[in-house]
Amino acid sequence: MSGQFDFITLIALIVAVAAIIKLRSVLGHRTDDDEQRVERLRARQREASQRAGADGTSGDVITLPRRDRDTAPATPAVEATTADVESRIKAYPVTDPSITTGLLDIAKVDPAFDPEEFLGGAGRAYELIVSAFAEGNRRMLKDLLSKDVFEGFSSAIAEREARGETLDQQFVGIKKAEITETDVKNGIASITVRFNSELISATRDKAGEVISGDAQKIKDVTDIWTFSRDISSAKARSNPNWRLVATQAPN
């Protein structure tokens, strides 16, 4: 009986192991792409939580990262910080010296400004805006865009909805983002960024059939967007949020 029991137990174990291997082959394994998508989702959730808890700003406004300025330093520390900011901005790689001049003009008014941190925040804003437009999420767009740009985006969404079409889109990622223009005029700082990104995009009709684009193909997209922020006063600078104020097609 003991030998028969051991044999049956062995057979059961073999069957169980085979079932586990089969189940793993059916379910598959998490890929690097899956990990990246999950991480992007978590990042969005963290950003949404931070925006919801911000004082004096809308819960959906993108805040481009800035350095902490809660404590007012003594005069020598301010001078050291200003020198450090200027040194860092002069070392920041640009394609046109006029860009450095514009960045320095911004930093003179707002020493907390950092071009690398700005560009990182602009990239996150870009992804959110592109995704919100595809989803027809006017509420998020309204908090991220200037009035004029919002009206243009909203009109395009309305036309798409009137035709009964949907935009099936997946944001793959930004391949490159670079500052191409800077300006400070009447206390308003403006920075133009050129984004080279990858998207999977397809427009579907009422029946769900693809009428343009390709739901299986990644395409390269270039967008040139300008973000602005009021830095004219201490009160204005206390609001770190930038908004998209202009878009243009690449030459």
Asked if 190 and 180 count as a contact pair (C-beta separation under 8 A), the reply is: no
Cα gap 135→129, rounded to integer Å: 10
Cα gap 145→25, rounded to integer Å: 46
Q: Topology of 56-248 in CATH?
A: Nuclear Transport Factor 2; Chain: A, (3.10.450)
Q: What is the residue-level pLDDT of the chain in tens, covering all 251 positions?
A: 555 545 555 555 555 545 444 434 433 344 455 455 545 545 654 564 455 444 443 333 344 444 344 444 444 444 546 778 888 899 999 999 999 999 999 999 998 899 999 999 999 999 999 999 999 999 999 999 999 999 999 999 999 999 999 999 999 999 999 999 999 999 999 999 999 999 999 999 999 999 999 999 999 999 999 999 999 999 999 999 999 999 998 87
Listed by start position, the domains of the chain span 1-28, 56-248
Q: How many CB atoms lie within 10 A of CB 124?
A: 18
State the helix-helix crossing angle for 75-91 and 97-109, rounded to 10 degrees. Answer: 160
